[in-house]
């Protein structure tokens, strides 16, 4: 069954500026600017008259189209949070016998994983653009990933995690790896 009209409203925080032009949303804030295109979705995106909220409308939407409307709203909300608070993922290097060494090089753009399960091979992971990796000063064996875009930060954390997966061994016994220990924002 199709719904005749569905609408969602998202309030814009005072420290964030949002502009909408032909289903391309640009969000500017304290930490930078993010742009995203929603041209693939059959929704109407517009700013309210006082520029304090984003209005998303959908005509004759089926259940999946209404779900896409809510997804669009969540993406814009994540963009607002990113440019105003910045996303931060903390990852811990876990080892049982062979200590894992990690180096961050190229201004926080490349992570090198050494001595994983005693291997001589150096595993190199390039993080996505807009993400910065730093070794934690306070905690030993911890990497801190920060960035404005939540998808880039989480995908970079996934790339680092996937680079240190144990293959052809019992994963109940070999728990070595690099795991996400904490997710959050820089400005809480």
- pLDDT tens-digit readout, 119-162: 999 999 999 999 999 999 999 999 999 999 999 999 999 999 99
**Whole-number pLDDT of residue 134:** 97
Please list the residue range(s) of the chain that carry CATH number 3.90.930.12.
3-85, 87-185
Could you tell me which of 144, 134, 151 has the C-alpha nearest to residue 181? 144
In CATH terms, the superfamily for domain 87-185 is Ribosomal protein L6 (3.90.930.12)
- DSSP string of 143-154? EEEEES-HHHHH
User: In the block, which residue shows the tokens 């502009």?
Assistant: 19
Query: Rounded CA gap, 98 and 163, in Å?
Result: 16
Query: Rounded CA gap, 90 and 166, in Å?
Result: 21
Which residue stretches of the chain are H helix? 63-85, 150-163
- pLDDT tens-digit readout, 82-101: 999 999 999 999 999 899 99
Number of neighbours of residue 35 by Cβ within 10 angstroms: 11
Confidence of residue 78 (pLDDT cuts 50, 70, 90): very high
**3-85: CATH topology:** Outer Surface Protein A; domain 3 (3.90.930)
């Amino acid at each position: 069954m199709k719904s005749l009209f569905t609408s969602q409203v998202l309030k814009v925080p005072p420290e964030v500026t949002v502009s909408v032009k032909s289903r391309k949303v640009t969000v500017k804030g304290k930490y930078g600017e993010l742009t995203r295109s929603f041209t693939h979705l059959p929704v109407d995106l517009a700013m309210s008259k006082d520029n304090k909220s984003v209005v998303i409308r959908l005509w004759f939407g089926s259940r999946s189209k209404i779900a896409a409307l809510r997804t669009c709203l969540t993406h814009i909300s994540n963009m607002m949070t990113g440019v105003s608070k910045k996303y931060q993922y903390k990852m811990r290097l876990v080892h049982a016998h062979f200590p894992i060494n990690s180096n961050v090089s190229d201004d926080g753009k490349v992570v090198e994983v050494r001595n994983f399960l005693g291997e001589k091979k150096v595993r190199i992971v390039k993080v996505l653009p807009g993400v910065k990796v730093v070794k934690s000063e306070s905690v030993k064996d911890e990497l801190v990933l920060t960035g404005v875009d939540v998808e880039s930060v989480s995908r970079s954390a996934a790339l680092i995690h996937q680079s240190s997966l144990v293959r052809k061994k019992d994963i109940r016994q070999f728990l070595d790896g690099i795991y996400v220990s904490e997710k959050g924002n820089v400005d809480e």
